[in-house]
Homo-oligomer: A and B are copies of this chain.
Amino acid sequence: MIHANAAADRAAIRAGLHAGPTAGLAPGHVQGNLVILPQDWANEFLRFCQANPKPCPLLAVSEVGDPMLPTLGADIDIRTDVPRYRVYRDGELAAEPTEIAALWRDDFVTFVIGCSFSFEEALLAAGVPVRHIQMHRNVPMYRTSLPCVPAGRFRGDLVVSMRPLAPADAIRAVQITSRFPSVHGAPVHLGAPERIGIADIDRPDYGDAVEIGDGELPVFWACGVTPQVAIRNARPPIAITHSPGTMLITDLLNTRLAAL
């Protein structure tokens, strides 16, 4: 399924023609992490995002009860336009449906959070290799010992993604990703994994392990999976997210996110 524009990809997803990962779809377009919460939990979650902008950079917050996201694209209906969802009840994964129309409530608020796909495109464009893309794997992600700033009932440790890079590429990657604060921005750590509570770099908590070459440094970025950990800890009666890797495709261009 290769289309030149984001709307065509969303239409195919809405029609049930694509229920898998969105990596490589709609090149150049921003993809986002999804969190949907009832209004009485949404205000606290908004504060959690504000207090933790590196893992939770907000691209959009919907009106209460409105499934449309007009600032992210034409005719985006969040009930149908993500390939696969995760429904959490009391913090536990309860279902992974391909649409959530029957679950929609008048008090739901949608949050769309920036995703590292955007800065990976900028890295590749600058000639910086991205190992998990080279290996056709999902990015390795790890729970850390770095606590997020708590907000109300939402709390938890930071989740990071990791990309191994030669030192000169790591320096270039800091420069490039610093330009994209709305999609996690600069790395939070590089070098020794144990310094941030990662016991075994070959055993990620999410995604796939990748090879770290001789002389390469592991470089760690804040990850959009962090809010899912906070939701599990907060245990709201219902919360809906995207399924990892199956993101919301927006009409925004990655290049428009560059701060400088």
Contacts and interface: CB of A to CB of B under 8 A. Distances in A.
Interface of A: 167-168, 170-171, 174-175, 178, 186-192, 195, 215, 217, 260
B188 A171 contact: yes
Q: Tell me which of A167, A189, A192, A217 has the highest count of chain B C-beta atoms within 10 A of its own C-beta.
A: A167
Contacts of A175: 174-175, 178, 186
Nearest to A260: B260
A195 B171 contact: no
A215 B195 contact: yes
Contacts of A186: 171, 174-175
A168 B188 contact: yes
A188 B174 CA distance: 12
A50 to B, nearest CB: 21
A187 B167 CA distance: 10
A191 B190 CA distance: 10
Contacts of A195: 167, 215
A170 B178 CA distance: 13
A188 to B, nearest CB: 7
A217 to B, nearest CB: 5
Contacts of A171: 174, 186-190
Contacts of A167: 189-192, 195
Contact of A190 (B170, B188, B189, B260): B170
A192 B215 contact: yes
26 contacts: A167-B189, A167-B190, A167-B191, A167-B192, A167-B195, A168-B188, A168-B189, A170-B190, A171-B174, A171-B186, A171-B187, A171-B189, A171-B190, A174-B174, A174-B178, A174-B186, A175-B175, A175-B178, A175-B186, A178-B178, A190-B190, A190-B217, A191-B191, A191-B217, A192-B215, A195-B215
